[in-house]
Amino acid sequence: MKTMWLLLLWGVALPVFAGEGKWTPQQVLELDPAWLKAQGLKLPPQRLWDPKRGTGLLAGTVNVGGCSGAFISSSGLVITNHHCVFSIVQEHSSPQRDLISQGFLAQNREAELPGKGARILVPRAFTDVTKEVRAAVPAGADDLVRFKAIERQQKELVAGCEKRPATRCQVASFDGGSQYVLVDSVELADVRLVYAPPRAVGEFGGEEDNWMWPRHTGDFAIVRAYTAPDGSAAQYSEKNVPHKAEFFFPLAPQGVKPGDFVMVLGYPGISFRGLLAEEMADRQARYYPRVIDVYGESIRVLEEEGAKDAAGKIAVASTLKSLHNRAKNASGQLAGLARGRIVEKQREAEAAVVRWAEKRPAHVGALRAREDLLTGLKEEARTWDREFLLGNLRAGARGVTLAATLAQLARERVKPDMEREPEFMERELVRLKDQFEREQKNLFVPAEKRLLQAFVRRAQALGPGERIAAVDKHFGPTFSEKAVAAKADAMYGATKVLTLNERMAMFQESEAQLQARQDPLLAFGLDLATELTALDEVKDRREGARQRLRPEWRRAVLAHAGKPVAPDANGTLRVTFAKVQGYSPRDGVFYTPQTTLSGVLAKHTDAEPFDVPEKVLASAQAKRFGPWADAALKDVPVDFLADADTTGGNSGSPTVNGKGELVGVNFDRVWENVANDFGYNPDVARNVNVDVRYVLWMLDQVENAEGLLRELGVRKGPSVTGEGR
């Protein structure tokens, strides 16, 4: 009966724009099936998601360390982005065997390369726990108590859920606390690299092409998940066997053409469409410009220092890549917010809700909630600069972050597990330890020192109400280039935090042991940690207020909308419905939605980031297309655009056709669409995908990966289960 009502209520109300909405699996069933069919969905929506079992084809979409990915065979093969499994390639690369430049193809199963710390999460169940979470808040709780009660309840739900072996759970909050869902996933911990293209394919165009169109990047890689012989998830072992995937997406060798319907499935991380206009304006006025400024300074330092030293250049490469990505994203957000008049539009939309709610007694509480959210925003402004600096330590010297984290860990570990900050609970420590080990390859002392100086200079410039006491204590209250440089030299000269085995020993030590080391960087870290913890409490209280206020406001927004509204991204499984199509980025220009191998050749310059590898060049120049050319393009398609509603975290998302077959792999958005995090604009909302035919062309015409092609079912012959490659 309830479902009936939902269908009647929502069945006629369609999304405003076809592509808009990162729908939850449950919501897919609330959309009008006739509308979905008209869009191009050839499967009954229940095939995508069976509410009784709480699973379906959507569950073939997996989480790969914060990226997305998809099973593409019943024997555990997963396709994702090259940049998502880059650390496995890096782990097995050496100057003698440079897999990063050359790429890697496992000639048989034994040759597949295990990835240390690589994990794949396969969704198993989603349970609404809103009632349980709400009930945990004691009557009359103040905002900090509210936050802590909700956090505690989340931890307990997670602990209960994780009693099952090899299970990873999370309580996800939707619409600012309007709904809470317990997400239960199987954690596959034996993940092995099967294929990675050369970096010059996987990252073709580098930073220059990042967030842009036209694009010619082969940003894909293939891994395989393994389990114990009885099918249960297990750590790496030679005895393990390929994971039997219940749901997977077969490849569609015919690919796509303009106008085709596609779905992009994945784990979008965060978006901000549910924010108030003023909250958006705040991010526009303050947050993104500061990211560009602070991250930009770090980029300059790393580039300058890297240029002086070959090993240093390698060490800073991965940090540089992520800083560039964030900084360019921030510029894209600003450009898009201005171009799309997104804040202004949100103001108008909000005013309409306010007018509507004023006339409805059931929603007057929303008006008050909105006012209180705005007051909170103003209060935050007073210490914003300080909090930005402390909240973005990772953009600076890594040694400082390591030292502060060691201090926090030592202080948290003495508490009962349930009372620790979530990131220091037992369930996180294996990951944290891995990270502490892996960090070694990113450390480069000359760059570290300069980044520390930059941080200190910014901290010393803060106003009287925003001082960072740890900086004042260790570096004095005013900036002197010479004094700070000398102090940074002394700290890095004496510290053991950057020495791997010492750091791993510190990882286990108590606060007293850390103090006793009299390590100057650790001493700074210990003082900084005190401030980070105090700041956490301030932030928790604020978040408690938002948890009280936001649901009230959002209830009015949703009621006013009178149709299904997809919640903001929160790292949980979503699907977006889209069409392959180009767009006009500006007056007089139209971008077609497909690029080709000829385009790769046209960009080739012999120099990074447009240096096409020899073996790719040879096949492309000889026009050895095999069966992978597109009839209309008369060429092998490389990348394509669709109007799917994606964001960061959707990297590696399977892009599938109406029958649920893989036609591409999502890896980016276009420049004009970076600000879709704040609002969907159908004119420029385009995501960028690698065409499945480029994947197949690479495997076939460049790599001769016969066994893999057979396993993927696109080449006749024995072996569809990964045997005998």
Among 647, 655, 689, 701, contact with ligand ASP (rule: CB under 6 A): 647
Q: Considering only CA atoms, which of 541, 537, 536 is closest in space to residue 390?
A: 536
**Least distance CB 669 / ligand ASP (angstroms):** 4
User: Of the ranges 91-99, 365-373, 485-493, 642-650, which one interacts with ligand ASP (CB under 6 A)?
Assistant: 642-650
β 190-196/113-114 pair status: antiparallel
User: Of the ranges 388-396, 416-424, 441-449, 648-656, which one interacts with ligand ASP (CB under 6 A)?
Assistant: 648-656
In the bound state with ligand ASP, the residue whose beta carbon lies nearer, of 270 and 618, is 270
User: Of the ranges 9-17, 168-176, 526-534, 643-651, which one interacts with ligand ASP (CB under 6 A)?
Assistant: 643-651
Q: Tell whether residue 639 is a contact of ligand ASP (CB under 6 A).
A: no
Among 648, 654, 664, 679, contact with ligand ASP (rule: CB under 6 A): 648
Q: Tell whether residue 649 is a contact of ligand ASP (CB under 6 A).
A: yes
Q: Considering only CA atoms, which of 133, 130, 176, 135 is closest in space to residue 156?
A: 133
In the bound state with ligand ASP, the residue whose beta carbon lies nearer, of 268 and 707, is 268
Annotation marks residue 83 as catalytic: yes
| C-alpha of 385 from chain center | 25
**Least distance CB 332 / ligand ASP (angstroms):** 10
In the bound state with ligand ASP, the residue whose beta carbon lies nearer, of 182 and 320, is 320
Q: Tell whether residue 668 is a contact of ligand ASP (CB under 6 A).
A: yes
Q: Taking the CB of residue 142, how many other CB atoms lie within 10 A of it? A: 12
**Least distance CB 668 / ligand ASP (angstroms):** 5
User: Of the ranges 381-389, 632-640, 647-655, 714-722, which one interacts with ligand ASP (CB under 6 A)?
Assistant: 647-655
**Least distance CB 113 / ligand ASP (angstroms):** 22
In the bound state with ligand ASP, the residue whose beta carbon lies nearer, of 249 and 667, is 667
In the bound state with ligand ASP, the residue whose beta carbon lies nearer, of 529 and 580, is 580
**Total count of residues recorded for the chain:** 725
Annotation marks residue 75 as catalytic: no
In the bound state with ligand ASP, the residue whose beta carbon lies nearer, of 215 and 546, is 215
User: Of the ranges 375-383, 569-577, 629-637, 664-672, which one interacts with ligand ASP (CB under 6 A)?
Assistant: 664-672
- CB-based contact 522:329 (threshold 8 Å): no
**Least distance CB 83 / ligand ASP (angstroms):** 7
Q: Which long-range contacts (CB under 8 A, 24 or more apart) does 409-417 make?
A: 409/507, 410/509, 410/510, 410/511, 410/513, 410/514, 411/511, 411/529, 411/533, 413/510, 414/510, 414/511
- Among residues 74, 178, 651, 653, the one annotated as catalytic is 651
Among 240, 581, 651, 681, contact with ligand ASP (rule: CB under 6 A): 651
Q: Considering only CA atoms, which of 696, 645, 551 is closest in space to residue 22?
A: 645
Q: Indicate the residue type of 473.
A: K
Q: Extract the tokens encoding 79.
A: 């396709």
User: Of the ranges 17-25, 292-300, 462-470, 649-657, which one interacts with ligand ASP (CB under 6 A)?
Assistant: 649-657
d(CA 184, CA 648): 22
Q: Considering only CA atoms, which of 51, 97, 106 is closest in space to residue 76?
A: 106
In the bound state with ligand ASP, the residue whose beta carbon lies nearer, of 649 and 722, is 649
**Least distance CB 81 / ligand ASP (angstroms):** 7
Q: Taking the CB of residue 415, how many other CB atoms lie within 10 A of it? A: 12
Annotation marks residue 651 as catalytic: yes
In the bound state with ligand ASP, the residue whose beta carbon lies nearer, of 456 and 670, is 670
Backbone angles phi, psi at 650, to 5 degrees: -80, 0
Q: Taking the CB of residue 675, how many other CB atoms lie within 10 A of it? A: 26
- Among residues 68, 73, 82, 83, the one annotated as catalytic is 83
Residue partners of 536: CB distance under 8 A and separation at least 6: 421
> What is the enclosing helix (H) or strand (E) of 286?
none
> What is the enclosing helix (H) or strand (E) of 81?
none
Among 243, 411, 554, 669, contact with ligand ASP (rule: CB under 6 A): 669
- Among residues 175, 184, 209, 219, the one annotated as catalytic is 219
**Least distance CB 688 / ligand ASP (angstroms):** 8
Q: Taking the CB of residue 444, how many other CB atoms lie within 10 A of it? A: 23
Q: Tell whether residue 333 is a contact of ligand ASP (CB under 6 A).
A: no
In the bound state with ligand ASP, the residue whose beta carbon lies nearer, of 118 and 451, is 118
Among 217, 346, 581, 650, contact with ligand ASP (rule: CB under 6 A): 650
d(CA 597, CA 636): 6
In the bound state with ligand ASP, the residue whose beta carbon lies nearer, of 327 and 451, is 327
**Least distance CB 57 / ligand ASP (angstroms):** 22
Q: Which residues pair with 310 in a beta bridge?
A: none
Q: Tell whether residue 646 is a contact of ligand ASP (CB under 6 A).
A: yes
Count of residues touching ligand ASP (by CB under 6 A): 9
Q: Considering only CA atoms, which of 462, 331, 326 is closest in space to residue 389?
A: 462
Q: Considering only CA atoms, which of 88, 89, 110 is closest in space to residue 98?
A: 89
Q: Considering only CA atoms, which of 666, 667, 670 is closest in space to residue 656?
A: 666
**DSSP string computed for 35-48:** HHHHHT--S-HHHH
Residue partners of 93: CB distance under 8 A and separation at least 6: 99, 100
Which residues are at the interface with ligand ASP (CB under 6 A)? 646-651, 667-669
- The catalytic site residues sit at 83, 219, 651
